[in-house]
Amino acid sequence: MSSKALAFPYRRLFLVCAASAVAMVALAASTANPARAARAGNDSFNAVFVQTNDTSGNQVLAYSRDRNGLLSLSGTYATGGLGGVENGAVVDHLASQGSLTYDSRQKLLFAVNGGSNSLSVFAVKEHARLQRTEVIPSGGSFPSSVASNGRFVYVLNAGGGGSVSGFVIVGNFLLPLPFSTRSLNLGNTQPPFFLTAPGQVGFSPDGQQLIVTTKGSTNSIDVFGVGRNGELSASPTISPSAAGVPFGFVFSPSGRLVVAEAAGSNLTTYALNGNGTVTDPKPLPDGQAALCWVTAIGNDFYVANAGSNTISHYRSDSAGNLTLEGVVGNTETGAIDLIAASDGRDIYAESGGAGTVDEFGVSADGSLTRLGTITGLPIGLEGIAAT
C-alpha cells in the first residue's frame, strides 16, 4: 500500500500526533501558581527531564521536583547532537514514545538525536544534575526511541526500513553489541514518514524480550527474543495489532502489554507469551482523538489524546480488562509524551504544539489536579523522563 493511500484514513487521526515546525529554544518559565511559593524541599533524585529535540542543537532540560509536584529548572544540557523531524509531522516531531529514557538501576539517562543519527548518554547526579559521558552512533538512521533493562540498551532507528541496534552498559558508558542490529523491513523513507515510522522500542519486565510497535506501516507488534548476552533472535515474532496503528506502550503489574493504538483511539491490553506472540487482546476506546501515548501508575493508565488535547484515565484488573474512568485532564495544543513520577504522585505531560509541560497531581481515586504549566519550550519538543 502506498504511503498516500495509507495516509488517507489516518491523516486526520495523526495530524496532531506528530511534529512539523522548528522553534528556537527558550528558557523554561512557569505560569503563575500560588503553590510554587510553598516549597516542601527536594529529594536528591527527585527529577524530571525534558528533551527539546531542537534541530539546531538538541538539549535536555533538568527540573527538580518538589514534594508538591512542582518543577524548577535546575540545568540545561546539550546532547551533542541534533533533533529531528519526521516527514508529514505536525506537533510531534519524532512521532514516538521513549525518545528520552531513564535507567533507575544505573542512574543513566539516554537521549536520541534523530537529526544526527546518534545517542547521548548522561550520568544522573543528585539534585537533578546531569553529566554527559558520551555521544555515540545509534547504529542506524533517525533514532526515535531507546530502551534499557539495566544491562543492555537498544535503540530504535526509524529511518528507511527501520532497525534496532544494541549496546551493553559498562559504567557510565555504552559499548556496541556485535552483530546486534536487526532490520524491521518496513520500507519507509529517510527521514521517515510519520505514519509508517515505528513507534517505540521496549523490554519486557523480565528483560528477555524486546518489543517494537510499527504504527501504520504493518500495524503489528514485533517481539524479539533477548539472549543472556543481549543478542536478539534473528527475526521478530510478528503479531497483528487488534485496534490498528500501535504506538506507545507500557506493562501492567501482572505483565500484560498495554498499547496505545491510534486507530479509533483505543487502549489495548495483550498477553505477551514466551514464544513472542501477543494474544488475548482487550481494546477499549476513550472517545477522544489520536490516543498515542501512555504512562502507568500500577493498574492505572493515563493516555494523551493529541487530537483532543486531553488526558484520559483507564483502570485495569489483573486479567487485563479495562475500565474507562474518563477524561481527567486538559492540556495545551498537541498533547504528546507524558510520564508518571516513580512514586505515582504526579504526572507530567508535554504539548508539542504549544511548547509546554503540564504538571498534574494524582489523587487517591486516580483523578488529576492541575498544578501548573512550564512554558517557553520549543514547538515540537519530544521526550520526557522522571526519576
HSE of 4, CA atoms in CB hemisphere, 13 A: 0
**What is the tens place of the pLDDT at every residue in 297-340?**
999 999 999 999 999 999 999 999 999 999 999 999 999 999 99
CA dist 360 and 362 (Å) reads: 6
Mean pLDDT of 371-381: 97
In a domain, 40, yes or no: no
81-83-85 Cα angle (round to 5): 150
Domain hosting 84: range is: 3-34+47-386
In a domain, 125, yes or no: yes
Would you state the pLDDT for residue 14? Answer: 40
In a domain, 241, yes or no: yes
In a domain, 244, yes or no: yes
**What is the tens place of the pLDDT at every residue in 92-140?**
999 999 999 999 999 999 999 999 999 999 999 999 999 999 999 999 9
**What is the tens place of the pLDDT at every residue in 137-170?**
999 999 999 999 999 999 999 999 999 999 999 9
In a domain, 84, yes or no: yes
In a domain, 41, yes or no: no
Closest CA to 103 of 203, 18, 3: 203
Domain of 251, CATH number, reads 2.130.10.10
In the chain, the percentage of residues whose pLDDT exceeds 70 is: 88
202-319-364 Cα angle (round to 5): 80
Q: Total structural domains in the chain?
A: 1
What sign results for the dihedral spanned by CA atoms 209, 215, 217, 221? positive
In a domain, 12, yes or no: yes
Would you state the pLDDT for residue 187? Answer: 84
- 23 pLDDT higher than 80: no
Helices (H), the chain: 3-14
150-154-155 Cα angle (round to 5): 135
Q: Average pLDDT, whole number, for the chain?
A: 91
DSSP 126: G
The answer to whether 65 touches 42, Cβ cutoff 8 Å, is: yes
In a domain, 39, yes or no: no
